[in-house]
Amino acid sequence: MNATRGTILVVEDEPEIRRFLRSSLGSEGYRVVESATGRRGAIDAGSHKPDLAIVDLGLPDMDGVEIIRRIREWSGMPILVLSARTHERSKIEALDAGADDYVTKPFGIGELFARVRAAMRHKVRPGHGTLAISLGASKVDLETRRVIRDGAEVRLTPIELKLLGCLARHLGMVVTHRTLLQEVWGPNHAADTHYLRIYMKQLREKLEPDPVRPRYLLTETGVGYRLVADEDP
């Protein structure tokens, strides 16, 4: 028997949702610990020390954001939240409280696995992400700050580089507008979303094969942006 790929804590009050998460995550080789309440989840997070937590934001006994805060007091484990559609504000609150990413209910299992994989990868190299990423024909080396596209060097401005670097540190995961604005322009610009629209457009024009239909620099409407790279082990 192989070792598991890691332990995942599922904090979710609906038994049917826990059931399908258990069977599908189990089939991917993860060990699953289930908590039916928020209170129980906060305790299980401490006693089982999982590699990742999946927290439903609609728990009856405790605000999902509260559990995230409690876990964040002592642990940097990746946290994915499950949220209802059209609740952008609660997603943003959860992300600002320290959650790493979200999946919107109803979701397909493919989407969940992609989020879990990205979050697990992030855990291995926290804060650094991948230094060399491949976006189709564009190769980005964040250490030397060089971008090569189709063999030719692409010049990025300092802000474009900072923005790309911030997204790359959370490769595969969503980064909120606020986080991007604060990290790139500073705390006084946390609400200046138009900066982001302008610079994301520039980045896409320089890096995306088809800027009109981006494949790597993705928009999470109302929440933030997500950089995905070509899968390379």
Partner 1 sequence: MSAKPRWVGYAWAGAASGACTLAGFAMVPRFDLVNVAMIYLLAVVVVALRESRGAAVATSIASVALLDFFFVPPQGAFTVDDIQYLLTFAIMLAVAIIISGLTRSVREQARAQATLELEAETERIRSALLASISHDLRTPLAVMTGASSSLAQRGERLDESERRELARSVYEQAREMGDRVAKVLQMTRLETGAMALSLDWVSLPELAATVLDRLAERLAGHRVMVEWPSDLPLVHVDAVLVEQVLMNLLDNAARHTAPGTVVRLRAQLRQSDIVISVEDFGNGIPEGDVERVFAKFHHGVAAGTPGGMGLGLAIARAIVRLHRGEAWAERMPGGGTAFRFTILRETVPVAPAEPVEA
Which stretches of the chain bind partner 1, using CB under 8 A?
A: 85-86, 88-89, 106, 108, 145, 155-159, 161, 192-195, 197-201, 212-214, 218-219, 221-222
Give me the least distance between CB of 8 and partner 1, in Å please: 23
Give me the least distance between CB of 127 and partner 1, in Å please: 23
- Angle, alpha carbons 209-213-217 (nearest 5°): 75
Nearer to partner 1, 105 or 117 (CB): 105
Nearer to partner 1, 128 or 201 (CB): 201
CB of 158 closer than 8 Å to CB of 167: no
Give me the least distance between CB of 33 and partner 1, in Å please: 27
Give me the least distance between CB of 216 and partner 1, in Å please: 12
| Cβ neighbours of 132 (radius 10 Å) | 14
The DSSP bridge pattern shows strands 79-84 and 101-105 to be: parallel
Cα separation, 109 vs 117, whole angstroms: 12
Q: Which helix (H) or strand (E) holds 26?
A: helix 15-27
Nearer to partner 1, 72 or 162 (CB): 162
Nearer to partner 1, 43 or 148 (CB): 148
The DSSP bridge pattern shows strands 146-149 and 138-141 to be: antiparallel
